[in-house]
Structure 1
Amino acid sequence: MIAMSGLRVVMLAVLAGSALPAPAIAALPEPVRAMVDAAIATGDEGKVRTVVEIARTTYPGDAAELDGILKSFETRLAAAKAEEAAKKEAALRSAGMFRNWDGRGEFGGFRATGNSANTGITASVSAERKGVDWRHKLYARADYQRASGVTTREQYLGRYEPNFNVSPDFYVYALAQFERDRFQGFDARYAASGGIGYQALKTKDIQLSVKAGPAYRVTEFTDGRSENRIAGLIGLDFAWSITDRLKLTQATNAVAETGGSAIAIVDSRNTSIDLLTGLNAKISDKLSARFSYSWEYDSNPPAGAVGTDTLTRMTLTYDF
């Protein structure tokens, strides 16, 4: 009887124990949760990932909860980015033609070789408007030198180029260009072109695009002659941010960028090539120092003119 009673007690104890709740799993420690919440409050995705990874390594038993917190943050962040992108696109689409332009003015001196060998002043202005599908680029430049009442350098260039994106990498372009350079033998040279362009590289630091298409060119020479010709255009635009911070002097930090452009217009009688390479050093948010070198070539210059001109420019630029 005593043995049976003992067995009954043991069985009752076992049954009672099986009915007890399982021990609770420890929640994420409050200091760790506070640290994760503080990282989330910054909105910095990289910082949140770093903090969560450290917490996961330190408290592997709480990995599931930490993963849930990170996934929830990423979902909210993606939704916020999508909403911001949608608002930005809507603002760009509704903006008027004269809004959202970024411009740059440039002024300084030049040294020329070729049809004239002298120094003088140079000034240019450029503007660009980027929309969702369209991009507009304007550029105008003047180089001028006069000494002892005689003009020895007078060159003007104006260009307008609208682009339309047909895909993330391809676009179609139109180009209208005007040039005047009496020392190269023409009072006016007009060119119009249209074709397709390709964005070959597009990263944070390097951008490279190429374009090509047919062109039509009208040249009015200083001797009164005029020529109209069908031609072909090949163009290249390149930009490279060398470094984020470049120390030019002990007291000046600057951002340096280098870039180049090239336009070649080819016809059966005269091929012209315009190459421009420059280096910008940002002195402040708006002001930069710029060094540039341009090489201009005409395969069939008028009588008395040479085919190659070079200009070295030292200028200050102001962004507006």
Structure 2
Amino acid sequence: MQLSIPLARALTLGLLACAAAPALAALPQPVRAMIDAAIATGDETKVRTVLELARATNPSDAAEVNAIEAEYDIILARIAEAEAAAEQEAIRTSGLLENWSGKGELGAFQSTGNADNVGITAGLGLVREGINWRHKLSGRADYQESEGVVTREQYLAAYEPNYKLSDRLYAYGLAQYERDRFQGFSARYSASGGLGYDVLTGESMTLSVKAGPAWRRTELVGGASSSSFAGLAAADFDWKLAETISLTQDASALVQSGSSTFISDTGLVAKLSGKVSVRLSYTLEHDTAPPQGAVKTDTLSRVTLIYDF
């Protein structure tokens, strides 16, 4: 735990007051000065190390060192409570455009010679964490030309609000828009709501799942349209393999009468520096009954740069 300088000073003043107590008078002044200097740095690891050394080198004064550590723990707890209360108050009073974090992705290619190809892939993901609510916004665009002819044009935008029912359980809503003329539809709208659960919440591995009823309307390129009720299930898995390398796996299934859709997106992310990373990904989308002329399975490999903000 690394404390700010003002908080470190507050700890030092509080513990210096303890030094004046008769019970702590036996502790040698140089040892006490060493402890105070460690506390002033605001580095909890350093303070624990110095206290342990003080106990080892002054066994007859162990009671005094223990008393200092007990007071240190009390003040740390009070500071943590104050910081948590201040953070919650800041969230409550924040404006609509505040407290957003996210990442942007961009990848592009161009080739000339026997064939002229140009393509671009871009994505944006935003998250706003509140006390009870979490809001997610996402978008993606893929565009490709080959010899001047458009061979891919795919767009997606989604909004997902979550209401936290407990530390891990939440209720979700989802509104999504898709456009992919090469898959046979000019627009596809989806809406869903249900429950989600954070199965894993560790620092190196997280897993969240959700499921609920859904409704989808598809507008085909030819002009026909259809609407139907469906069921949605999805999983979001992230695994930090090393300090700078992570594996991501997102999967979803929207099952309905007619054409059901199954999507898998697997990615490998490597941090380059600071907030910049590179991502290699492979996306597979399978429609069980696509419009006439469209293939059932569509795949896309991407190489993108990611900027976290």
TM-score (norm 2): 0.86
Q: Deviations over 1:96-131 (max 9, x none)?
A: 1111111322111379xxxxxx87221112211111
1:218-229 aligned at under 5 Å gives the runs 218-229=217-228
In the TM superposition, residue 34 of structure 1 has moved relative to its aligned partner by 1.8
Q: Distance in 1 between matches of 2:264 and 2:119?
A: 20
**Structure 1 stretches of at least 4 aligned residues deviating more than 4 Å after TM superposition:** none
Structure 2 unmatched ranges of 5 or more: 1-22, 111-116
The CA distance in 2 between the partners of 1:28 and 1:243, in whole Å, is 44
How many Å separate the matches in 2 of 1:119 and 1:242?
A: 33
Matches within 5 A, 1:216-295: 216-244=215-243, 255-295=244-284
Amino acid at match of 2:153: E
1:148 and 2:147 equivalent?
A: yes
Tell me, what secondary structure is at the counterpart of 1:283?
strand
Per-residue CA distance 1:257-289 (angstroms, 9 max, x = gap)? 222211211112221012112222222223221
Partner of 2:41: 42
Contact conserved, 2:185 with 2:220, CA < 8 A, in 1?
A: yes
**Structure-2 residue corresponding to 1:301:** 290
Query: Larger relative CO (CA 8 A, sep 6+): 1 or 2?
Result: 1
Is structure 2 residue 51 aligned with structure 1 residue 52? yes
Aligned-residue offset at 1:167: 0.5
| Partner residue, 1:311 | 300
Count of paired positions: 281
Q: 1:250 matched to which residue of 2? A: none
Post-superposition shift, 1:191?
Answer: 0.5
Q: Kindly report which structure 2 residues correspond to 1:41-120, keeping only aligned pairs within 5 A, or say none.
A: 41-109=40-108, 120=119
- Give the letter for the 2:68 counterpart: I
- How many angstroms apart in 1 are the aligned matches of 2:196 and 2:82? 31
Cα distance in 2 for residues equivalent to 1:43 and 1:103: 30
Q: 1:99 is paired with a residue of what secondary structure? A: coil
Match of 2:254, as an amino acid?
I
**TM-score, length basis structure 1:** 0.83
In the aligned structure 1, how far is the partner of 2:44 from the partner of 2:74?
A: 11
**Conserved 8 A contact 1:129-1:137:** yes
Q: Which amino acid aligns with 2:285?
A: E
For residues 169-225 of structure 1, the C-alpha deviation after alignment (integer angstroms, 9 at most, x for no partner) is: 101100001111111111111100000100111112221110000000001112222
Please say if residues 233 and 265 of structure 1, whose CA atoms lie closer than 8 Å, have aligned partners that are also in contact.
Answer: yes
2:178 paired residue number: 179
Task: Indicate if the aligned counterparts of 1:142 and 1:157 stay in contact, CA closer than 8 A.
Answer: yes
Residue 235 (structure 1) shift: 1.0
Unaligned runs of 5+ in 1: 1-23, 112-117, 245-254
Q: Which moved more, 1:50-59 or 1:87-96?
A: 50-59
The whole-number CA distance in structure 1 between the counterparts of 2:266 and 2:41 is 41
| Preserved CA contact (<8 Å) 1:110 1:313 | no
Aligned with 2:143: secondary structure?
strand
1:109–1:313 contact (8 Å) kept in structure 2: no
Q: Deviations over 1:131-156 (max 9, x none)?
A: 11111111111111123332111111
State the alpha-carbon separation in 2 of the partners of residues 42 and 302 from structure 1. Answer: 66
Q: Aligned in 2, Cα 1:276/1:89: closer, same or farther, shift over 3 Å?
A: same
* Structure 1 CA distance for aligned equivalents of residues 69 and 38 of structure 2: 11
8 A Cα contact 1:176 1:193, kept in partner: yes
Deviates more, 1:56-65 or 1:75-84: 56-65
In structure 2, distance between residues paired with 1:63 and 1:295: 63
Q: Note if contact 2:24-2:64 (Cα within 8 Å) is conserved in structure 1.
A: no
Other-structure match for 1:29: 28
Cα RMSD (Å) = 2.0
Given the superposition, is the C-alpha separation of residues 218 and 66 from structure 1 closer, same or farther in structure 2, using an over 3 Å criterion? same
- In structure 2, relative to structure 1, the CA distance for the partners of 1:241 and 1:110 (3 Å cut) is farther
Q: Report the alpha carbon displacement of residue 65 of structure 1 after superposing the two structures with TM.
A: 0.6
